[in-house]
Amino acid sequence: MDTLALFLIVAVLLVGVAGMESRISRADRRVARVERKVDLILDHLGLREHDPRMDEVAALAREGRTVQAVKRYREITGDGLKEAKEAVDRLG
């Protein structure tokens, strides 16, 4: 009987964790969608958010240290490799 109870507890915990992961994943997608929309609105209005850390990225790009610039850009923004590379190419 103890084995059955333990199995049921583990099963309930696994279902609970899977449900939480699903909700977190949906929330992450929704936040990303909202961020993209805000970025589009800011671009449309011609507004830019200046992040002083981007000066470092621009300096690295000007020096030809593209890999370091892409790495730093990704650390700052959380963007993917492709997006970061494109952004650094525009800076350089």
Same domain as 59, residue 38? no
Residue 55 belongs to domain spanning: 50-92
Q: Which DSSP state fits 42?
A: H
Q: Are residues 31 and 45 in the same domain?
A: yes
Residues 31 and 71 in one domain: no
Taking the C-alpha atoms of residue 24 and residue 48, their distance in angstroms, rounded to an integer, is: 29
Is the domain of 11 the same as that of 31?
yes
Under a CB-based contact definition with an 8 Å cutoff, are residues 57 and 76 in contact? yes
Which residue would you say has higher pLDDT here, 7 or 71? 71
Q: Are residues 3 and 41 in the same domain?
A: yes
Q: What's the pTM?
A: 0.51
pLDDT in tens, 5-40: 888 888 888 888 888 888 888 898 898 899 889 988
Total domains, the chain: 2
Residues 1 and 43 reside in one and the same domain: yes
| DSSP state at residue 19 | H
